[in-house]
Structure 1
Amino acid sequence: MPEPALSRAAVDRAGEHRTDEAWLSAAWLRSSTRVVLVAQDHTLVAEDGAGQLEVVLLPASSAPDGTRYFLGSDTAGVDYFAVSVPSLRPYRTLGTREAGLRETGTLLSPRDVGLLVHAVALDAWHRSHPFCPRCAHATDVAFGGHMRRCPSCRTEHFPRTDPAVIMLVTDTEDRCLLARNAAWQEGRWSVLAGFVDPGESLEQAVRREVLEEVGVRADSVRYAGSQAWPFPASLMLGFFASAANPAIAVDGEEIAQARWFSRARLREAMVEGVVALPSRVSIARVMIEQWYGEPLPQTPSW
């Protein structure tokens, strides 16, 4: 399967430096160090001379105050940090604009998308975990932004990632099963997905979710690939599976519609405008196009 857009990266996370406060302080002072500003899942971007979209990277000396995250180092010896800010507006300059991962994920270089995914995921966790869940005391940022430590009970807390399975199911005619979530507007379709239950294997989660949502029994579960989905803290684990029974019975609560699509019918439905697939920033689109055999038309997506 082709590499999903948000799985690309070109910077070594250099985890061995996270516990070395002296090294982190020295790295921040280097003239070569570069900083990504992050607000929610947005940053500042600009076009280079060749029309390539780039994340705006500031020298550390120009970066504002804020919670700081160490993102890693590249082969040229450049160290990268992110700084969390409440708003990007004060830092916009001529030629720059605010943009989010959903918009830019397929347009950025591996270096930039890897930095932004890392920064967005860390920032989402820090913003939602300011207090110790054991004693409710305010916690302090540590390990270069990869941990929070409670000064009261000394408990160490690490960023969480919620595993979710996402699966493309086919039947004996090699048709693809697509569904529409009840919360989505008319015309939005995608493959099935769901969070992994405690004590459950990934393959068990695939079978359970497919059965619960559309009444289809899945077998021949095969791993396809993964993609970080930091909205706010998921890891999407992709699978292909076969249907042991083709009869569909949607749950009526989470899933409003589900249908088998042949390749020809899916293309027709997209051209007709009755089916909009996820954008290419999502592993769902990568999986659908893997099944289809080539990129699908650039029709409206979501």
Structure 2
Amino acid sequence: MRQDTSTLIGEPVIDRCHMDRDDPSANAARWTDPGARLLRIGRHGEAALAGDLSRLATESPAGRRDPQRQLLIGEVAGRPWFVTRADPVPGPGRRVAPLRQSDLPPAEREIVWAGLAALNWHESAPLCPRCHGVTEASQGGLSRICTACAAVVFPRTDPAVISAVLDDRDRIVLARQPSWEPGRVSVLAGFVEAGEAAEHALVREVGEETSLRVTAARYISSQPWPFPRSLMLGYVARAEGDIALSDHELAEAAHYSRDQVRDLTTAGTLILPAPMSIARSLVDGWLADRLPAPESGADLSTPLGPEIPDPSQP
């Protein structure tokens, strides 16, 4: 496990066009752009995927755009992208499949996350939280506007923590939820509660689910998970103690060595998370010994330095 003090930064793929995304003329030009793409996503999160489910199969926008149904995602490399809730169309070299099971390249993953999140939120927020009037999507789809009181409503995100939890032998904790098929496992995760720090949620969730005590943790990266509207905050953590399932959220959980994971997945008796998930990225990073040591993060449990002196004291 390598020690690492690097700083994480990510360059967004999508230009969300904040300067003019609510300008009807700008969006009309985007809709008729020869390079524009329209992504259809079905009611159950399915889309048309090409070949081995590794590329999106999209279409060119046609007809007059309905801003209530065809939402602007943004531009990728100058190409406008829109999303709509509609049955995807299979065809030669393309088939309809759940997006959760796809293995898309990074740029297309961002498009899917943004598109799904937008659709899910708009469908769940038809009423104004202030006056309970009817809301409608803004021209760009970034917000909703109340037709009664003109209040502007913005999307909400549910933060959740997810972590590769390791023991002192560098073994990872993998667990199965009761609703999953036998053999399917993932790393530990849970939602951040109101008024709770993400790091506190990590300690609490690991303790509640496995009785393990987290002794160190380091933030890795985040990932939107719009099923329906989560933002996953990824960590690597060290924990001590013996696993004891203390609630009904998990059917089983255990420590696994790298050799065990490789052997069991090769044999087909262990099924890892979907390739598009941050859970899989954490497991793959651990398998390749590329995760930083949890202890390499800053320790904020004690003061960082001497207190500021009181100027009234000699």
Residue equivalent to 2:42: 39
Question: In the TM superposition, what is the alpha-carbon distance from 1:116 to its structure 2 partner?
Answer: 2.1
Output one character per residue of 1:46-103: Cα deviation in whole Å (capped at 9) or x when no partner: 35xxx8953233222258856121111233x322222232x23xx5454443233223
Q: Alignment partner for residue 99 of structure 2, among 98, 101, 105?
A: 101
1:8, 1:114 within 8 Å by CA — same for their partners in 2?
no
- In 2, the alpha carbon distance for the partners of 1:273 and 1:92 equals 30
2:31, 2:65 within 8 Å by CA — same for their partners in 1?
no
Residue equivalent to 2:295: none
Structure 1 unaligned regions, length at least 5? 2-6, 296-302
Residue equivalent to 1:152: 148
Question: In the TM superposition, what is the alpha-carbon distance from 1:289 to its structure 2 partner?
Answer: 2.0
**What is the DSSP-based 3-state SS (H/G/I as helix, E as strand, rest coil) of the residue aligned with 2:19?**
helix
- In 2, the alpha carbon distance for the partners of 1:239 and 1:204 equals 12
Residue equivalent to 2:177: 181
- In 2, the alpha carbon distance for the partners of 1:52 and 1:160 equals 30
Residue equivalent to 2:74: 72
- In 1, the alpha carbon distance for the partners of 2:272 and 2:184 equals 6
Q: Alignment partner for residue 14 of structure 1, among 10, 17, 20?
A: 17
Relative to 1, partners in 2 of residues 1:141 and 1:202: Cα closer, same or farther, differing over 3 Å? same
Question: In the TM superposition, what is the alpha-carbon distance from 1:9 to its structure 2 partner?
Answer: 6.3
- Matched AA of 2:99: L
Question: In the TM superposition, what is the alpha-carbon distance from 1:195 to its structure 2 partner?
Answer: 0.4
Q: Report whether the alignment pairs 1:265 with 2:256.
A: no
**What is the DSSP-based 3-state SS (H/G/I as helix, E as strand, rest coil) of the residue aligned with 1:255?**
coil
Structure with max Cα Rg: 2
Relative to 1, partners in 2 of residues 1:178 and 1:45: Cα closer, same or farther, differing over 3 Å? closer
Question: In the TM superposition, what is the alpha-carbon distance from 1:222 to its structure 2 partner?
Answer: 0.2
Question: In the TM superposition, what is the alpha-carbon distance from 1:147 to its structure 2 partner?
Answer: 0.7
Q: Alignment partner for residue 130 of structure 1, among 123, 126, 129?
A: 126
- In 1, the alpha carbon distance for the partners of 2:275 and 2:18 equals 30
Q: Alignment partner for residue 250 of structure 2, among 222, 230, 255?
A: 255
Output one character per residue of 1:130-167: Cα deviation in whole Å (capped at 9) or x when no partner: 22233332211115111111111222211111111001
Q: Which has the larger share of helix? A: 1
- Percent of aligned pairs sharing the same letter: 36
Residue equivalent to 1:4: none
- In 1, the alpha carbon distance for the partners of 2:266 and 2:54 equals 29
Relative to 1, partners in 2 of residues 1:70 and 1:190: Cα closer, same or farther, differing over 3 Å? same
**What is the DSSP-based 3-state SS (H/G/I as helix, E as strand, rest coil) of the residue aligned with 1:145?**
coil
- In 2, the alpha carbon distance for the partners of 1:186 and 1:166 equals 21
Q: Alignment partner for residue 33 of structure 2, among 26, 30, 33?
A: 30
Q: Report whether the alignment pairs 1:111 with 2:107.
A: yes
**What is the DSSP-based 3-state SS (H/G/I as helix, E as strand, rest coil) of the residue aligned with 1:174?**
coil
1:190, 1:278 within 8 Å by CA — same for their partners in 2?
yes
What is the TM-score when the length of structure 2 is the normalising length?
A: 0.79
Q: Alignment partner for residue 285 of structure 1, among 267, 274, 280?
A: 280
- Matched AA of 2:159: P
Relative to 1, partners in 2 of residues 1:238 and 1:68: Cα closer, same or farther, differing over 3 Å? same
Relative to 1, partners in 2 of residues 1:97 and 1:257: Cα closer, same or farther, differing over 3 Å? closer
Output one character per residue of 1:197-248: Cα deviation in whole Å (capped at 9) or x when no partner: 11111111110100111111102110111111111111111101111x3222
Residue equivalent to 1:210: 206
Greater shift after overlay, 190-199 or 273-282? 273-282
Structure 2 unaligned regions, length at least 5? 3-9, 291-314
